[in-house]
Structure 1
Amino acid sequence: MDRATLAPRIDHTVLGPATTPGDVEGVLDQASANGMNACVPPCYVAAASAHAPDVTLATVVGFPHGQHAPETKAGEAERAWEAGADELDVVINVGRLRAGEDQAVREELADLVACVPVPVKVIIEAPLLSEAETHRACEAAVEAGAAMVKTATGFADGGATVADVRLMSDYLPVKASGGIGDYETAVAMLEAGAERIGASSGVAILDGAPTSE
């Protein structure tokens, strides 16, 4: 896959706890220069939207553990959209899913999807789930009307795997995220069925790609 084809499938990401406004501007400038999307913390969305209006801008909701109250997540989603976010990456409540409270998980996601007119990606945190739980998480995302499912936050042990991407792609388009640091790994995820790559190493991934096919 050449650089031009790959770039718009990358969400160039900066979400660490020490992220500064300057860090966000740097990622946005790299995304703009290379044709990538960007994913930034919610507190910086308004400034990010103004700084790089040409960049498709994602932010996170309920990040990184997904344990916010449902109404808090919905309010966070609405504020992020109003501030200029084009897409939202929402962390599922892993604890409720693992406890078998699938209806509560579905209802929380459905309410959130309904409150914003932008695509919602559901982060299922697959490294913390069994295969059966991953299936159930994807089913909840489908029933809630989500646009995509995302493998991981990158803040739990483990990240995206080819096996998880293959499983999840049977349900919805997949954003593979967590531990993807080079071109070869990114391509493996895309070949497994991912539609999007989330990575803080977006530039490094592109630097490994051929300039043309």
Structure 2
Amino acid sequence: MNRSELAPLIDHTVLGPETSPADVREVLDDAQEYGMNACIPPYALEEASDYAPDVTLATVIGFPHGQNDHDVKRREGVLAWKAGADELDVVINVGRLKAGEDDAVRAELAELVAAVPIPVKVIIETALLTDAEKHRACEAAVAADASMVKTSTGFASVDPADRRADGEAVSNGATIPDVELMSEYRPVKASGGVGSYEEAMAMLEAGAERIGASSGVAILEGAPE
């Protein structure tokens, strides 16, 4: 895949706790230059819409822990859409999922999806879930009519010594097995730790249809022209 083909599949991202307006403008400049989308904090949407009207803007809802009240998430999503968001990336309530409250997880997502006329991607936070829980999270996203599922916020805290059932180290970002699992349900946004062209292509080959990365420029610089 060459640079121009790959660029529209990348959500060039800046979501750290110290993200400034200048940081957002830098990401938007990169997105405009290379043809990428941008994923930015909700507070920056109105300015970003004026600054880079041709860039597809994604933002995050319930970020990064997903523990907001369901009504707050819905209202946050509506406000983000009205402020200029083209897509929403919402974090599921991991605690409710782990407690077996799948109906509540689904209902919360469905409420948000129904409230906005734009695509909603569901961040399931794979680092914190077992494979069985990942299946259930994806099933909730499908039942809520979400457009995509997304691997990670990139902010989950995991012990590097932790191991998956197959012996692989747990990652707080995207992994090939998780992308393969999730792609059975919805198009996947692989996010967290994707920093090179080779890593991006591995995720796409595993079934991802979108890449979320703060390293969008580096990924594209490694791609053939």
TM-score tier by shorter-chain length is over 0.9
Separation in 1, partners of 2:39, 2:49: 11
Post-superposition offset of 1:70: 0.3
Q: How does 1:91-102 map to 2 (within 5 A)?
A: 91-102=91-102
Q: How does 1:39-78 map to 2 (within 5 A)?
A: 39-78=39-78
| Counterpart for residue 37 of structure 1 | 37
| Counterpart for residue 168 of structure 1 | 182
Separation in 1, partners of 2:38, 2:107: 28
Separation in 2, partners of 1:90, 1:45: 16
Post-superposition offset of 1:202: 0.1
Equivalent of residue 215 in structure 2, options 195, 201, 208: 201
Separation in 2, partners of 1:85, 1:33: 20
Superposed CA offset, 1:159-186 (max 9, x none): 0000000000000000000011111110
Q: 4+ residue stretches of structure 1 with deviation over 4 A? A: none
Separation in 2, partners of 1:46, 1:164: 34
Residue type matched to 1:174 in 2? V
| Counterpart for residue 144 of structure 2 | 144
Separation in 1, partners of 2:114, 2:62: 16
| Counterpart for residue 200 of structure 2 | 186
Residue type matched to 1:175 in 2? K
Post-superposition offset of 1:102: 0.2
| Counterpart for residue 104 of structure 1 | 104
Post-superposition offset of 1:137: 0.1
Post-superposition offset of 1:49: 0.8
| Counterpart for residue 8 of structure 1 | 8
Separation in 1, partners of 2:50, 2:70: 29
Question: What stretches of structure 1 of length at least 5 have no aligned partner?
Answer: none
Look up the SS of the partner of 2:67 in the other structure.
coil
Using the size of structure 1 for normalisation, the TM-score is 0.99
Q: How does 1:74-85 map to 2 (within 5 A)?
A: 74-85=74-85
| Counterpart for residue 177 of structure 1 | 191
Give the % identical residues: 71
